[in-house]
């Protein structure tokens, strides 16, 4: 006897199916709402960022670095010049002094590591058995393994943590020509280079008796050629003084973030290594925004697909959502969830962008409609099959 419309797909049937898996339904519903809300926030941020960059590009003024002109106070300025610091950065714990804009101390600890190997062999009865062999090696690592979980923990003990932590120093008195360069700007410079330490530097450390220069790094222990568990290797990376290009709001003799759109939280504060034109800096900022938005858009779409799969898979047990998937009805539910999830997220994006950039928003809305239409066609054909 064929199923009645109510039992198969009417309102009562839908409610009954959802009630049969309450946890699954609740998680799916919450995840769907969160994914769509997240998609809206992602697109809203992208739009606000583009508006800020467009307005900034239209108003920015290029000024010389060797003169602080009061006429440009409060304006968005583009400055190019040498970023320098008159004072060395000092890591007092190890006596290291280096001329740099940024200095990062890396600390590695010599510690045990456990690995295991499973071998199959015949026992005395001729039966197959698996023999597990545990192998222990020592090497420098940023974080020691928890040796309490080792198979042979009593004879292979690691320190819980290093005696010294990683550290970063940023020049506080750096300048860009006549301007003071704020520390926040220097953090945007990420081209690090290794810096060698010398025994003379280490001799100034309060821990000099335990420090040895070895291959350009500092070794904390007895003998760098025969390290023991718990010994440390300390190395440094620096960002050297260099030519930079900056776009920000001139405030006194320094720079602060520029907010071209009072209705949005997005600000403009761009910094690049080298002599870069303002137009190129804004172009790169837009490309970075596009990549970030695309990545976050993909995550929200994936979340929406998972949410819809949680909600739709129970319905696929009665009949597949896509024809020819009678042997894999759950796969049909996932396929339909993919179309609906992508369509929903793309639709949210299109609706957000359509007012600002119709050439982006309208195609996105059409693509969303296409996804929904394909899902509808597949479902209708499945009903007739």
For residue 318, the model assigns a pLDDT of 66
Question: Tokens in use for 364?
Answer: 């996105």
∠ CA 229-234-235, nearest 5°, is 140
* Residue 7: pLDDT over 60: no
* Residue 352: pLDDT over 50: yes
Helix (H, G, I), strand (E, B) or coil at 320: coil
Q: Mean of the pLDDT values across residues 207-223?
A: 95
Buried b / exposed e over 244-279, threshold 16 CB at 10 Å, is: bbbbbbbeeebbbebbbbeeeebbbbbbbeeebebe
Residue 308 to residues 16, 40, 333, Cα–Cα distance (Å): 17, 18, 9
pLDDT tier for residue 15 given thresholds of 50, 70 and 90: low
Q: Mean of the pLDDT values across residues 159-173?
A: 92
pLDDT tier for residue 127 given thresholds of 50, 70 and 90: confident
pLDDT tens string 256-266? 999 987 777 88
DSSP-assigned states of every residue in 274-308: SS--HHHHHHHHHHHHHHHHHHHHHHHHHHHHHHH
- By the 10 Å C-beta count (0-12 exposed, 13-18 middle, 19+ buried), 146 is classed as exposed
pLDDT tens string 36-78? 999 999 999 999 999 899 999 999 999 999 999 999 999 999 9
Helix (H, G, I), strand (E, B) or coil at 46: helix
Helix (H, G, I), strand (E, B) or coil at 142: coil
- Overall pTM > 0.85: no
pLDDT over 70 percentage in the chain: 90
Question: Tokens in use for 99?
Answer: 């001329």
pLDDT tier for residue 121 given thresholds of 50, 70 and 90: confident
For residue 4, the model assigns a pLDDT of 37
What is the CA 178 to chain-centroid distance, rounded?
A: 35
The enclosing H or E element of 345 equals helix 329-353
For residue 242, the model assigns a pLDDT of 96
């Amino acid at each position: 006897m064929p199923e009645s419309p109510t039992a198969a797909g009417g309102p009562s049937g839908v409610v009954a199916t959802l009630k049969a898996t309450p946890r699954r339904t609740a998680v799916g519903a919450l995840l769907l709402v969160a994914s769509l809300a997240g998609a809206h926030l992602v697109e809203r941020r992208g739009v606000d960022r583009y508006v800020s960059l467009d307005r900034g590009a239209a108003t920015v003024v290029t000024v010389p670095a060797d003169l602080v002109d009061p006429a440009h106070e409060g304006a968005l300025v583009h400055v190019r010049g040498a970023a320098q610091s008159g004072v060395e950065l000092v890591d007092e714990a190890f006596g290291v002094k280096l001329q740099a804009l940024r200095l990062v101390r890396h600390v590695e600890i010599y510690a045990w590591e456990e690995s295991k190997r499973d071998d199959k062999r015949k026992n005395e009865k001729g039966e197959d058995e698996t023999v597990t062999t545990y192998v222990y090696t020592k090497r420098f690592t940023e974080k020691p393994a928890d040796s309490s979980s080792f198979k042979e923990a009593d004879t292979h003990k690691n320190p819980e943590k290093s005696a010294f932590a990683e550290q970063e120093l940023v020049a506080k008195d750096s300048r860009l020509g006549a301007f003071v360069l704020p520390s926040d700007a220097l953090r945007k410079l990420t081209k690090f280079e290794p810096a060698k330490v010398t025994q003379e530097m280490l001799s100034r450390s309060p821990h000099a008796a335990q420090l040895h220069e070895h291959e350009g790094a500092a070794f904390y222990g007895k003998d760098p050629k025969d390290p023991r568990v718990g010994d440390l290797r300390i190395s440094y990376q620096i960002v050297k003084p260099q030519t930079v290009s900056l776009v920000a709001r001139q405030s006194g003799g320094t720079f602060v973030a520029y907010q071209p759109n009072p209705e949005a939280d997005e600000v403009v504060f761009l910094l690049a290594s080298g002599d870069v034109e303002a137009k190129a800096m804004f172009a790169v900022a837009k490309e970075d925004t596009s990549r970030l938005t695309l990545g976050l858009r993909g995550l929200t779409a994936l979340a929406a697909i998972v949410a819809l799969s949680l909600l739709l898979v129970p319905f696929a047990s009665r009949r597949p959502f896509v024809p020819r998937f009678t042997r894999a009805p759950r796969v049909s539910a996932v396929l339909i969830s993919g179309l609906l999830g992508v369509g929903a997220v793309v639709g949210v994006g299109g609706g957000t962008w359509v007012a600002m950039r119709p050439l982006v928003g309208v195609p996105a809305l059409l693509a969303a409609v296409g996804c929904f239409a394909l899902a509808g066609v597949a479902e209708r054909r499945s009903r007739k099959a």
